[in-house]
């Protein structure tokens, strides 16, 4: 199965920054944040011929990390605003 390296980068960065944010961290909210971010980014698939070092370089690339982080922060704000709001179709595990 091929991997979307943009998704891996988003997951890595999200787990780094989410601890600093006062947002719901249930699986549904985390998935919503990832979905919003990934809808705003081009997927990144590597051919089988690409070296592992090049994939690692993509994940560590400073410019990639900065632009993805900015998108994560705006997605966090969107999900935070919608938290526990049952009228918006979101499916938070903490909704009552």
**Which positions touch Zn ion (CB under 5 A)?**
24, 26, 29, 92, 94
Min dist CB 29 to Zn ion, Å, is: 3
Nearest approach in angstroms of CB 8 to Zn ion is 23
Closest approach of Cβ 41 to Zn ion, in Å? 22
For Zn ion, the closer CB: 12 or 94: 94
Quickly list DSSP for the chain.
----HHHHHHHHHHHHHGGGS-S--SHHHHHHHHHHHHHTS------TTS-HHHHHHHHH-HHHHHHHHHHHHHHHHHHHHHTT-GGG----TT--
Residue closer to Zn ion (CB basis): 29 or 76: 29
């Amino acid at each position: 199965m091929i991997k979307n390296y943009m998704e891996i980068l988003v997951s890595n960065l999200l787990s780094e920054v989410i601890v600093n944010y006062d947002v719901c961290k249930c699986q549904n909210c985390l998935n919503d944040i990832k979905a919003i971010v990934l809808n705003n980014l081009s997927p990144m698939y590597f051919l089988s011929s690409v070296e592992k070092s090049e994939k690692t370089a993509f994940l560590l690339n400073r410019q990639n990390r900065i632009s993805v982080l900015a998108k994560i922060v705006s997605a966090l704000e969107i999900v935070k605003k919608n938290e526990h709001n049952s009228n918006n179709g979101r499916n938070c595990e903490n909704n009552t």
